[in-house]
């Protein structure tokens, strides 16, 4: 049985165990996943669920993966994503002037 043939409820349940980066990457796999992930109720869930603070390849806070508001304290968890920070600079030449 192919993954896209699973019931939507089961897929949504599975998505809750993925990081934001993994969920974003699913949108490129199949149009069904794209449509599911862009549903307003799921976008709302992603915005408010507990998720570790994400830093990109250069150690900056990733503006793609961080989809929620964070309150920093001693219990804050951190993870790294595979983004390279191109989205945070006005143009790619600025990366080389750092």
Residues 6+ positions from 95 with CB-CB distance below 8 Å: 85, 86, 89
Reply yes or no on whether the pLDDT at 95 is more than 80: no
Distance CA 88, CA 6 (A): 37
Q: Provide the number of structural domains found in the chain.
A: 2
> Which of 14, 33, 49 is the C-terminal boundary of a domain?
49
Question: pLDDT, tens digit, for every residue of 52-90?
Answer: 888 888 888 887 777 777 777 788 788 888 877 655 444
Distance CA 1, CA 88 (A): 40
80 and 41 in a single domain? The answer is no
Q: Average pLDDT of the chain?
A: 78
6 and 44 in a single domain? The answer is yes
66 and 89 in a single domain? The answer is yes
37 and 57 in a single domain? The answer is no
Q: State the residue range of the domain holding 90.
A: 51-98
The verdict on pTM exceeding 0.75 is: no
Phi and psi, residue 38, nearest 5°: -90, 10
58 and 79 in a single domain? The answer is yes
> Which of 49, 65, 87 is the C-terminal boundary of a domain?
49
């Amino acid at each position: 049985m192919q993954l896209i043939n699973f019931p939507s409820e089961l897929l949504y349940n599975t998505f809750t165990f993925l990081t934001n980066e993994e969920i974003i990457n699913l949108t490129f796999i199949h149009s069904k996943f794209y449509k599911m992930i862009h549903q307003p109720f799921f976008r709302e869930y992603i915005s408010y669920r507990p998720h570790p603070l994400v830093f990109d390849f250069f150690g900056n806070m990733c503006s793609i993966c961080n989809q929620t508001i964070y309150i920093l304290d001693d219990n804050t968890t951190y993870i790294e994503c595979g983004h390279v920070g191109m989205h945070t600079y006005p143009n790619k030449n600025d990366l080389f002037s750092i």
